[in-house]
Amino acid sequence: MINLAGKTVLVTGATKGIGAAIVAALHAAGASVIGHYGRDQDSARAMLERYPQRLHLLQHDLASAEGAQQLWEEALTLAGRIHVLVNNAGIYVASPLADSSAWNDGWEANLQVNLRAPADLCRLAITHFAALGGGIIVNMASRSSHRGDGPQHLAYGAAKGGLLALTKGIARGYGDQGVLAYALAPGWVRTAMAEDHIATVGEDKVTANLPLREVTPPSDVAAMVAFLASGLCRHATGSTIDITGADYVR
């Protein structure tokens, strides 16, 4: 059993999908969780009802330039010490080639939420961790980080690829100060976004090329986050762990 008692974990995008599963896994392991959310008040209320102890939720807009720093400062004021940062929040916004306005908007949105906000949080976490003997960062990348995304989502793939480079740089640059950094690269995960696509094309089509013939449950991703948060595999720092059911194998 993974024991995270006494640790405080900051998780972005914590109230739905993979983020909600991460909170469940961390909470079950004994961690105190500070969860971030954007706009969905109903999901936030449901999470607080489910976990009346050892969970605090903070609402901040990571699409704004100041959102990440505001989130970190409020979380640190609340907890005093953060042991683990999980950059899970992300968006999947199209950046179509044919429409210059949508192209520009798509790049701006994807880079801000999927790369710049995590980078800002990493910066603040590194300073905090290094001063206190160490800490752990887990960044949620994507299968698209390796192979790119489709023509309508070039910006998404590029931002997630940048997140991998960021994670490797942190691991190499700050390991001697006790800062560990890992990236996860999920493929198809059964979230609301995936369910919308499955409803459109049919589950058989989605799973036809998946060796396990099933869409990854969020709990698989969450279990890996809890394991990495434990610090039980320090020398894997800098690694990217693919969670695709062998759909993408490097």
CB atoms within 10 A of CB 233: 12
Residue type, 86: V
Residue 159 and residue 205: Cα distance in Å, rounded?
27
Distance of CA 119 to the CA centre of its chain: 12
104: Cα within 13 Å, side-chain hemisphere: 2
Of 77, 234, 241, 92, nearest in space to 160 by CA: 92
Residue 171 and residue 176: Cα distance in Å, rounded?
9
CA dihedral (52, 4, 25, 57) positive or negative: positive
CA dihedral (201, 205, 207, 213) positive or negative: positive
Tell me the chain's radius of gyration from C-alpha atoms. Answer: 17
Residue 17 and residue 248: Cα distance in Å, rounded?
21
The conformation of residue 217, written as its DSSP 8-state character, comes to P
CB atoms within 10 A of CB 53: 6
Active site positions, annotated = 156
| CB contact at 8 A, 167 and 237 | no
Residue 107 and residue 130: Cα distance in Å, rounded?
32
